[in-house]
Structure 1
């Protein structure tokens, strides 16, 4: 190897080592970057720390340690609260967005004015495995609009005898839904566990919740069939199970009577099959009669009950109270809509995006209070039942993406409140309805039906049979019959003309005989001249 080659090798190694050092320095600087903590949030966390003491018996986990010990006031190293143990900050804004103080040996009592509730940007909070004695769930928890809890739901809800409302929706809870109402002494009226990651089957103890009015389980990962056993609940008004992993045919129980007060049913985006047992689900009277209570909302008086350890006076209960208004998210008028309040008289059915078969039940026409009906994206067959014309309060009707046939019933013109109508992608035939609300619907409401015609579709309808000209007799019976018929008309005309001519001739000869003779003579001479001489 020459001297020049050796120098080139050393130069290459030198340059490569410099590049590696620059990369490592840059990586170290990126990893050591800590967002700047806001002073107000820094102070709030320090005050939160001061409100509790460290007690080794406050946590049961063997790896527990006091995370707040690393929290130091200004003037010390690692001043930024974003560097403290258990604290997570947004890299761009520096706001505290996460707090994990699980198993931190915290001992003390929460108050409603605790500085923790001033961290309004908080999105995750974990305080598990600590001992917050004599504490109640404060109303201040509502200060966290972005907070999402995680973990498994505790199994202590069954101890809350006076609990009327339980809302744990829009979080990251996993595992199974805990047992509630193990006895019929429960006061539970509302449960919302929607938009979580709950698994498994529904607890059969829900059938003991005899005061339950609203059960919202949408957007989970259950693996269960339809809970027909909930049909015995006398007060159940809302049952929402959208996109939650339910499947199979809905079995008919021995008794066809169930759900006596049901007003909102959402089974959409599951994997239900077979025919829908409407005579069982809709056997109640509420949908049939309607509710005359537009000013009232569905609500419950919500008690939060926390049971503490026994003291010398026995078991202690701390309770807070406020009115809780039911809410639900539904597909309404073609759009997903969140209802923060539900009127007592609002009634809706959504069976869309399943694999239901058979005909649309005529019984649905008896549900006079119905405002919204969506059975789209199934495998329904047969005709659109004319009984739907009885739903005078109906505002939205979606029958699209099925295998329906026949014509659109004329009686649907009676639905004067109808704002959204969709029968697209079926096998419907005939003329599209016009008049009233149907004059406002666009062609997207009807597309995918080759047999439909008329505005607003580009396909025009043929002239109705009643307006066509009658076929000629010649076309029906052949040309010979037509000739005979024409000779009959000619003969009749000849006879009538002869009669009229004789009568007129008699009249003229009698009145003007001389003048008549002269005229006849003149006509004879003219005829002779026209003929000319014979050859």
Structure 2
């Protein structure tokens, strides 16, 4: 039997030998090279000749400009199928693929280009070239066989031709990274492309809703619509596409949506929604996305708890949940995500402790936990961080640690970035920080660190940024301490208790600083080493004891680069020579407040955004050249000796100007029309000048206005009820003017609902108290004792790796407890009404008791009659009440004794009768306050 099988096999093998020979001969014959067609070779050469190629058109150093230059008419390589980037069909010789990506091409692609005669093309890649802002030509529609088209990052512009939609065989279309491109209709583009697997339009201006039709593209694997200006509701059906692996729709702030329920069959690997308006809760079923490796929902509107099921996604390498409204604790299940490389929880509302099991995440290189509700005073609670030895980036800003810098951090020897800003750190800066030899950025500002700066800092040879701003550090600091830090470009030592010595050796001045903060460093002179600094962008020497004149060389420091200059709160008097113009053409912030300056150059450069020179001795008129500052955001000339009229051109840049503070000068004349339509003005303070005439009606255009102070002028007008349209108005001060007439009733439905400080005192207003207005002031009806924030404007400027925050606190003067008090900061919850020294008459309505957020109420020196309302006892936050100099009668209500915060009470010079209430708060008043009342009360008794 076995021999029979061997015989049978050998017979078959002999039979196969000639057959195999024949097949091999035929295969060899079929593999003979097929040359490309002459017309296609000619078309490629014409395409080559229509472009330039040079290194200036290359996007990256690794780009390959010689790819197209290898195409030749004569020589060995005349067959276009052998040319770089060209692919031919092996059987027909037709060109079916062309890859000229990153070829440093430069020129315009036209509709008559020979490229479009290559009608057999199936794959075309022209990405990363420079097509000189030309339009995508309609000739692409002739390439009906295309399955792959990539024009990304090639500097195309204009409208995307919709006839691309006729390329019905396309499975991959990439037009991304062409910020000059526009698409009229996303639905019109894709409606015929039913075979699409990959669609990338990132950074193309689409500006339309996401069409439902995308949810019908059953083959879709990749959808990239980053920063397309999308709006409306995102179709939830797209999430359910069975083959979808990559979904990127980030940075479309007007795009709304929610996350649906997910099934374990989903193939999603990348889900990126950052910077959209997606909202709602994360579904528990998100744990079914077993293939997910990137989940980025930063800067969205998600809320609720972080589901513990996220811990099931063990393939995750990138998890960003920052800037959402998540609450509760961080789930310990996330410690299962052992593949994580990047984890970001920052700016959420999470609380509790960080699970120590996070020490399992040993592959983490980036960890960002900026969580202000996380608190810990036990260093051992952060010991797990010492296990993350691969960390290169650690940001703990805002966590309330109240401890010394944990010693476990000494194990993080790969760290290049460490941010522990505003974490309530205590103790000294440890010398073991020198172990972190890879550090380039060290940020420890806004803490309570004490002692001297350790010499060991000088061993951090790679350090580029050292930020120790606002601590309790002490001792003497010299520039020589940082002589070994060859890469140090940013040094912030401001607002400590250190003394910075300005005498330095020649070697110590080799650093080329970009950021230098030496505020409050006991400087008596401008540091001499600044003479050799020519790359500074931000220089802060404020709050020192620098006296005398500003020397010429200071104005020449970093002449071409300085953007932010702060010399405020010193004793500067002027300049050692006449200076007509500022020397810094890139200047954006100039702060010279609180000096003794008597003169300045005419105007800062046009780039200036913030110009602050308050509290000096400056004189003269405001030059019309100020109108050149077309981007000005803040202008503060207050408390100087300026005079003259205001330039009418101030309204020209009301679309950029947010702060205008001219109080405490000698300006006169009419107030110009400050606000054009679209004004961004938030604060206008023209108080304590000599302005006259009518209030400018253009103020009604200031829809963002929060504080308007025109007090202590000579204005002559009726009550500006038209200001009621300003729905953001919080402070209105018109005191000490010649305003007159009846205040009347609100003329709009808004009537400034956010108003909580009103001062109309010392005018000539008549009629009844404006109780109808009282009803619309909703913010005076709130009690939020826990809100101790201040009213201010905020702007942020990016400079040399920092966002420089410019806070401008609102200020005002108010009569409180009989004295004029300057509030350099206005707390958000402060509410006050001062209608004193007018000619108001009639009764005080019981409605006054609804304003239970009031702290100051002054109705004195009017003609008010009737009794003191019992409802005043409901003003539980009231601190000062003045009803004196009126015609009030009857008794003082005993309910006022319930006002436990009342510190000043004056009802003198009225017609009150009866006994003074005793008990509780009234028993705390000093005798002389009540004595005024008793005299008036006794005189009434005698008359009876």
Q: Same fold (TM over 0.5)?
A: yes
**What residue number does 1:205 align with?**
698
Say if 2:825 is the partner of 1:341: yes
**What residue number does 2:674 align with?**
180
1:220 is displaced (CA, Å) by 1.1
1:289 is displaced (CA, Å) by 2.6
User: Is the CA contact (8 Å cut-off) linking 1:303 and 1:322 kept in structure 2?
Assistant: yes
**What residue number does 2:761 align with?**
268
SS, match of residue 400 in structure 1? coil
**What residue number does 1:447 align with?**
932
User: Is the CA contact (8 Å cut-off) linking 1:384 and 1:409 kept in structure 2?
Assistant: yes
TM-score (normalised: structure 1): 0.58
Number of residue pairs matched by the alignment: 359
Q: Which structure is higher in helix share?
A: 1
Distance 1:157 1:245 in 2: 25
1:403 is displaced (CA, Å) by 0.7
1:243 is displaced (CA, Å) by 0.8
Match of 1:429 among 891, 905, 913: 913
**What residue number does 1:377 align with?**
861
**What residue number does 2:277 align with?**
none
Match of 1:399 among 877, 883, 887: 883
Q: 1:253 to 1:284 in 2, by over 3 A?
A: closer
1:282 is displaced (CA, Å) by 4.0
User: Is the CA contact (8 Å cut-off) linking 1:111 and 1:138 kept in structure 2?
Assistant: no
How big is each residue's C-alpha offset from its partner over 1:226-276, in whole Å with a ceiling of 9 and x where there is no partner? 111111211111111111222222133445761211100011111111112
**What residue number does 1:7 align with?**
none
Distance 2:714 2:723 in 1: 19
**What residue number does 1:169 align with?**
663
Q: 1:444 to 1:98 in 2, by over 3 A?
A: farther
Distance 1:367 1:119 in 2: 38
Distance 2:752 2:786 in 1: 20
Say if 2:893 is the partner of 1:409: yes
TM-score (normalised: structure 2): 0.34
1:281 is displaced (CA, Å) by 4.4
1:443 is displaced (CA, Å) by 4.1
Give RMSD over aligned pairs. 4.0
SS, match of residue 937 in structure 2? strand
SS, match of residue 776 in structure 2? coil
User: Is the CA contact (8 Å cut-off) linking 1:268 and 1:350 kept in structure 2?
Assistant: yes
Distance 1:256 1:356 in 2: 24
1:166 is displaced (CA, Å) by 1.5
Distance 1:250 1:100 in 2: 54
Say if 2:703 is the partner of 1:242: no
Structure 2: 5+ residue stretches without partners:
1-545, 558-571, 618-638, 798-803
**What residue number does 1:368 align with?**
852
Distance 2:898 2:593 in 1: 55
How big is each residue's C-alpha offset from its partner over 1:264-299, in whole Å with a ceiling of 9 and x where there is no partner? 001111111111222124422111133355221111
**What residue number does 2:807 align with?**
323
Q: Which has the higher contact order (CA 8 A, sep 6+)?
A: 1
Q: 1:379 to 1:446 in 2, by over 3 A?
A: farther
1:451 is displaced (CA, Å) by 6.7
**What residue number does 1:284 align with?**
777
Which is higher, the Rg of structure 1 or of structure 2?
1
Structure 1: 5+ residue stretches without partners:
1-39, 52-94, 305-319, 461-535
How big is each residue's C-alpha offset from its partner over 1:67-121, in whole Å with a ceiling of 9 and x where there is no partner? xxxxxxxxxxxxxxxxxxxxxxxxxxxx9689999xx986976786999969942
SS, match of residue 248 in structure 1? strand
Say if 2:744 is the partner of 1:251: yes
Distance 1:449 1:293 in 2: 38
How big is each residue's C-alpha offset from its partner over 1:339-370, in whole Å with a ceiling of 9 and x where there is no partner? 11111111011111111111112111110101
Larger CA deviation: 357-366 vs 150-159: 150-159
User: Is the CA contact (8 Å cut-off) linking 1:357 and 1:380 kept in structure 2?
Assistant: yes
Distance 1:409 1:114 in 2: 55
User: Is the CA contact (8 Å cut-off) linking 2:839 and 2:863 kept in structure 1?
Assistant: yes
User: Is the CA contact (8 Å cut-off) linking 1:200 and 1:221 kept in structure 2?
Assistant: yes
Larger CA deviation: 339-348 vs 320-329: 320-329
SS, match of residue 932 in structure 2? coil
1:163 is displaced (CA, Å) by 2.1
